[in-house]
Amino acid sequence: MSGFWADKYRITAFCIIAVVSPATGSDYTCAVWECLSHCQIQPDAAHHAPEVASIVNSACNEIYTGDFEGARRILDKTVVSDSNDIMQLRKITDEYRAIKERREALQDEIYKTQINALQELRQIPLSNDANNIGKVFSLILNISEYADKEQKQSLLKDPLLIQAVREAKAKAAQFEAEGKSLDAYTICYNKLERIYEDNKTYSVYADRLLDKADIWTSFQDSRYEPYEEHYAGITKQTFINAVDVLDSRYVNIIDYRRMAIKGIDRCKLLAEVMSKLGADNAFKMTNAKHAVWLEALDEIVNEINQSQTKTGKDEFVDVFNKVLAINKSPCAQTALPAAALIAQFAKGSLSALDPYTAIYWPNQAQAFKKAMTRQFSGIGIKFSKQEGPAKVVTVFPDTPAYKSGLQAGDIIMAVDGVETKDIASDCLAKRITGPEDTKVTLKIKRFNEETVCDISLNRAKIVVPSVHGWRRTETGEWLYMIDDSRKIGYIRISSFCAKTSDDFESALYRIEEDGLKGLILDLRSNPGGLLSAAVEIADKFIAKGLILRTQPRFGISTYMAAHKEGTRAVCPVVVLINPLTASASEVLAGVLQDPKYKRAVVVGQRSYGKGSVQSMSTDCGKGSQLKYTVAYYHLPSGRRVESRHLMETLGRTDWGIIPDVNVDLHSDQLQEIANVQKINGFLVTNGNEDPFGGVSRYSSRQTVDADPQLAVGLLVLKSKMIQSDAQPTTQRPCTLN
């Protein structure tokens, strides 16, 4: 006898044995369970177990693509209505539907509110008032976020917008004529390129204004970075050395003709900016000299365009030398600052390669190192500065600032006696940081007091933390378990540096000790950093096989493989990404998502699309460093992480990492998420009060409700946890009834 009837009689026999046995109460229950376990059959629709598993798998697969409604249709068709797994998945689809409905209702409400605000704005005379123009542009941008395609097209034809564009262009032209390129960008073109996304004319002009503003800034002396310091250490040979490095190591074949023309174009901008400098500026260029300079540069461009020979490295260097020679020529009489000319030609020519290849001259090299390593010598704070004095946003643990009692919310009125209200952020950062074991004095206005006090601190080595939980405790420890009942952990990585892998290991260990069953890995707004750190973290999730391959132009590929030893994270994983997820963080998300492993479901928005590996060279000399693109990333399945820069050039949109489940966010939601992270992440030092005006830290429920991407990510993760537990079990523990 076999099949169903064999199982039926076997069940009957075991049940008879159980009934005639002297067992009673809980012992009787155990006997029955033991009998059924021999047959590998559970009560409660045991014969439906394979069907339940199949339904769960089908529904979950729909959820992992973001089709929660498709999953619900699958669940509603099944006749196995009493399965706990199916009921839980139905609840998940209900929760997603509720989230979607709330977002749509809020979107509709905000859209109507913004339209009403636009109607009110029509009553105010526009003229050429910069504030009113800015209000129109900002409102149009806000409305566009919540508008559908048809509504957006209608907005672009709005008479008020058309009038604002006309007035803004006139105002921008006035600013530009006065040499105020940044003002022209701010009032007009940075908004226009966002409102008219399909009009490349606006984006090109906006970039040009930013280039001119960048040049203008370099000629403005400040007490922290005078002109001489800004251009210190820049030499002709340094740039030629950099070109030699690129010729042999850059990832692509170099178009030297394009590099030469872009370099010359930047030199034209340099002269234009200098012609608009104030009369009291020592570098002011006369209109006559400006005209002579432009004519000489145009002659070089004509020679390049008419040349029948290929422009190689040597020809490019010849062009560079010609530009420098013309500047020294008596007939030209331009006499542009040599260091500025070299720096601007270099910047323009390297922009022809990609956005990530650049020279860091001696005065910039230290700042770049600080950004890459997340290590520097300072006091251990993060501050914000818009208008007026600087405000402390974060105080890092175990730093001079933390030990001094400095608190998030404190206002930095002055640094070493110099008021901060009129100092640019980068200059202020240079003032606060400095050599280790040196002293700096801050004049502080406490966030909850009217009094002002001086705090003297000894600078020390600072390592900026890159691994965060969802909230700090009152003692400053991060909480990593965001759902205690389901044992769901949450770890956010803000960048990748030397300590990131170890810190991640420690955080993971803590929640594994607490019974971790599912993990949210948040890589949103992570700009990258050390590739090795991202690979080390991927290795914790993958036992064996290829993690990453990098492909240079010359030579063999570099392979990075997983190691079985140290693999610990075996639970289901969901990764959160957004448009600011870039470089090494894209690698980690892509590896875990890759079809070869399917180790995680990725939720959020398409990543930045960097897709390339940069290397540093110190072969340029004079303390300068060259950062250049040396290879492209290839994921385990062989797919390349496409570069946004290259894809946009080709008219394509398939760059970066595309999420499995897309969840778009609006600007107000981004602001709310940032605010929650700020409140939940601040440190209270030395028993001080809440620096945010009595605002309590957010609970896990409030944190999730404020963050649609996290909320949907949790639903996806819960689905993965249900799926992993959905297989029929062979035993069931004895319980008291």
Active site positions, annotated: 583, 594, 610
HSE (side-chain half, CA atoms, 13 Å) at 565: 0
Residue 718 neighbours by CB under 8 Å, 6+ apart: 88, 92, 486, 488, 518
Which residue, chain included where needed, has tokens 């801050």?
442
> Quick one: how many helices (H) and strands (E) in the chain?
27, 22
CA 124 to CA 136: how far, in whole Å?
11
Beta carbons within 10 angstroms of residue 732's beta carbon: 13
HSE (side-chain half, CA atoms, 13 Å) at 714: 22
Strand partners, 354: none
Q: Which ranges of 490-627 would DSSP assign to H, the alpha helix?
A: 500-513, 531-539, 584-593
CA 737 to CA 722: how far, in whole Å?
26
378, two tokens? 């300072």
Among residues 616, 615, 568, 607, the alpha carbon closest in space to that of 588 is found at 607
Which residue, chain included where needed, has tokens 């598993």?
53
DSSP labels for 354-421? Answer: -TT-EEE-HHHHHHHHHHHH-EEEE--EEEE-SSSSEEEEEE-TTSHHHHHT--TT-EEEEETTEEST
Reported for 469-477, long-range contacts at CB under 8 A and 24+ positions apart, including other chains, are 469/507, 470/680, 470/700, 470/703, 471/680, 471/681, 471/697, 471/698, 471/700, 471/703, 472/680, 472/681, 472/682, 472/683, 472/697, 474/684, 476/397, 476/683, 476/684
| 574 burial via Cβ count (<10 Å: 0-12, 13-18, 19+) | buried
- Say whether 616 sits in a helix, a strand or coil: strand
Beta carbons within 10 angstroms of residue 531's beta carbon: 19
344-375 burial string, b = 16+ CB within 10 Å, else e? Answer: bbbbbbbbbbbebbbbbbbbbbeeeebebebe
CA 20 to CA 26: how far, in whole Å?
15
568, two tokens? 């610990």
DSSP labels for 702-731? Answer: HHHHT-HHHHHHHHHHHHHHHHHT-SPPS-
Strand partners, 384: 391
Element (H, E) at 460: strand 460-463
CB 505 within 8 A of CB 567: no
| 305 burial via Cβ count (<10 Å: 0-12, 13-18, 19+) | exposed
